[in-house]
Amino acid sequence: MMYGQVLHHQGREEDLVNLNVGGIQHKVERCVLLRFPNTRVGQLIQCCSDAAILELCDDYSPAEQEYYFDRSPQVFHCVLNFYRTGHFHALEELCVFCFSQEIEYWGIGELDLEACCLDWFLERKHDREQNACGRSSNATSSGEISVVGSDLWRFEGTWCSDVRKFMWQTLEDPNHSKCSKGVAAVSVLVILTSIVAMCIHSMPEFRYATDSEHSVLDSLELICNIFFSVEFVLRVAAAPRPWTFLGNPLNMIDMASVLPFYVTLAFESLDEEDGEENQHLVNMGKVVQVLRLMRAFRVLKLARHSEGVRAFERGGNCYMSILVSFIYFDIGFRK
């Protein structure tokens, strides 16, 4: 027997299909392959033209009636065993993603795996996906911080270059200095305080609160929004490319989370010449206030610079998105 050949059950020559996978030759009975006609090899042996055949394999020799596949011969042994026995098992020594891609090529699904292999295969694949997500998150954080550093040369020759450069690094890169870490911590604290204040303000118990209680919540909300406004204006003033900065989706969310507060103040300060019309404007202003919850997404931007918060985000990003959506619509309907 020549090297690279695998002998199987011998039938009549015309009933055998010659498959060459990764340099390993297989002779398989046609009836065996037709047990699963919807798979790649099952469709291949039903083709009636060379053009159709070449769409399903890498090469084909009409003289030798041999089909060539530049795929993993190791995985194909599992595939071939599936055709013969109807039972599909995975190889533990192979990467789960590599194995998944290979069997997808052959037209076999992961759910065709036997119960003894399916549980550990899916569990291992889930773990690898979580680890890959974590590495991607770390790379994103490093990439964003490197972008902050790569723009520093743009400050040369501009107005107040030294001051703006210091403000840019302090506000955009929490790892730049102790001062920038302090600013980031204060920003997160104010964001959370603002969210808690809005949640409390939306509760039915506080709709009939005294003027003093309303005054405390309104004052707290005013302080938070002043902080957000000053922070955003400073970031725009310090940005080396202001228009690019304003076009960033995250920065657009920051701006959209501040503007409704001032729009509401403008509505409420209108003279009550027409009570019904102005009451309608005030109600519109209160609805617009709900948009301030978009400020909560600022936490996600800051979390990219924190290893601990980033780990929490990877572990519970699904639950966090559901929680944020719930709070958003809950407050929106309560208003």
Domains and CATH numbers, the chain: 5-121 (3.30.710.10), 151-334 (1.20.120.350)
Range from 118-132, 195-209, 265-279, 316-330 that averages highest in pLDDT: 118-132
Query: What is residue 208's predicted lDDT score, i.e. its pLDDT?
Result: 57
Helix or strand or coil: residue 335? coil
Helix or strand or coil: residue 45? coil
Radius of gyration of the chain (CA): 32
Q: Round to whole Å and give the CA distance between 184 and 18.
A: 65
301 compared with 44, residue with greater pLDDT:
44
Query: What is residue 283's predicted lDDT score, i.e. its pLDDT?
Result: 59
pLDDT above 60: residue 23: yes
Query: What is residue 13's predicted lDDT score, i.e. its pLDDT?
Result: 58
| pTM assigned to the model | 0.45
Q: Round to whole Å and give the CA distance between 18 and 62.
A: 11
Helices 115-150 & 161-172, crossing angle to 10 degrees? 170
Q: Do 254 and 232 contact (CB within 8 A), yes or no?
A: yes
- Nearest CA among 95, 82, 98 for reference residue 124: 95
Query: What is residue 319's predicted lDDT score, i.e. its pLDDT?
Result: 44
12 compared with 95, residue with greater pLDDT:
95
Angle (CA) 321 322 326, round 5°: 120
- The sign of the torsion formed by the CA atoms of 235, 237, 243, 244 equals negative
Least confidently predicted of 10-19, 37-46, 91-100, 184-193: 10-19
pLDDT above 90: residue 20: yes
Order the strands of the 66-69 sheet from edge to edge.
5-6, 24-29, 16-21, 66-69, 59-61
Give the start-end residues of each E strand in 72-194. Answer: none
